[in-house]
Structure 1
Amino acid sequence: MDGFPKRHILISVDDSAASLKALDWALENVYRAGDEFHLFHVIPPGQYVVLSTDLGIEEVIEDDESTRKRVEDHARSILVDKFVPKLKAKDVPYQVELVRFATDNESIGAVICKRAEQLQAAAVVMAKHNKGAIKEFFVGSVCNYCTHHCKSPVLVMHCD
């Protein structure tokens, strides 16, 4: 461990190129031997999926246990397929963490901050998604919430 104590680094991710860039940046600039990365993804509860076929037919899939399991399995497969290989390639210890929670940005930010506090994370790394000024004004920003409320340092990757 090169004399350093083990640190927990919380990487807040979603299915975006920006999240992949944030992970790459953290691997190059934050990681040191002995650290453990926590890939953390929040799944909104009650997520309804609308499917559209070539015929223009739309189907709303009810939020039942089977749907929740499929959504969770899909999210886990994205993390395992896209993010985990980068960690394995550098032999970085990791945990994949999926949490189902409220859908608004403030609540998602609160969950991220709470998990960072539980881990006593040395840092939280996340990507900023450019939603536009009007949408951000009304909806808010997970990054903005975390930078103002997390007790751990928050590193925000701007992917413009």
Structure 2
Amino acid sequence: MRVAVAIDNSEESYNALKWILDYLLTQPSTKLTLVHVMEPLPPFHGVESASRAQAQEAARILARASEMCKAKMINAESLILEGDPKNLLCEATAKMNVDLLAIASRGLGQIKRAFLGSVSDYCAHHAKCPVLIVKPTKESPK
């Protein structure tokens, strides 16, 4: 089985990875790929330094996710893409023959989702593999 987890800088995406590590990856033969998609930078002067900073941020995000995997003794490969996350996640999962894409839901309301679009909703309808959408956990009252 091959599983891809979409990772960005949100706590929700790390929560989705945690869910996959805790409840799904029980077989050592499962291959895990952490996928981070960087939004393309607009062309402007000084794009090289901005691009370098963006690549460093992507590496930091994937390093945190990789540490979570190592803590559970799971080997994961990382993949960094640049472009529109909705399209690239669907394309990458098809090219890699992924059996399951796990993606976090940010918990947007219907109005925000209608205006902003939802990566998880798009992937659920367009990916060639099953998509597991992990909803945000509800914090317990303090």
TM class, shorter-chain normalised? 0.7 to 0.9
Contact 2:35 2:79 in 1 (8 A): yes
Shift of 1:47: 5.7
| Percent of paired sites with the same residue | 26
Aligned partner (choices 67, 81, 104) of residue 127 of structure 1: 104
2:13 equivalent in structure 1 = 19
Alignment length, in residue pairs? 136
Kindly tell me: are residues 30 and 100 of structure 1, through their superposed partners in 2, closer, same or farther at Cα, counting changes over 3 Å? same
Describe the SS at the equivalent of 2:37.
Answer: strand
Contact 1:46 1:63 in 2 (8 A): no
Describe the SS at the equivalent of 1:79.
Answer: helix
Cα distance in 1 for partners of 2:76, 2:46 equals 30
Shift of 1:12: 0.4
Is 2:51 the counterpart of 1:68? yes
Question: TM-score, structure 1 length as denominator?
Answer: 0.78
1:53 equivalent in structure 2 = none
Question: TM-score, structure 2 length as denominator?
Answer: 0.87
Write out the 4+ residue segments of structure 1 that deviate beyond 6 Å after TM superposition: none
- Give the unaligned 5+ runs of structure 2: none
Aligned partner (choices 82, 107, 120) of residue 100 of structure 1: 82
Higher Cα Rg, which structure: 1
Cα distance in 1 for partners of 2:22, 2:69 equals 11
Please give the residue correspondences for 1:1-160 in structure 2 after superposition, counting only pairs within 5 Å: 7-31=1-25, 32-46=27-41, 62=45, 64-80=47-63, 82-102=64-84, 108-159=85-136, 160=138
- Give the unaligned 5+ runs of structure 1: 1-6, 49-60, 103-107
Kindly tell me: are residues 14 and 47 of structure 1, through their superposed partners in 2, closer, same or farther at Cα, counting changes over 3 Å? farther
Cα distance in 1 for partners of 2:22, 2:16 equals 10
Cα distance in 2 for partners of 1:47, 1:135 equals 24
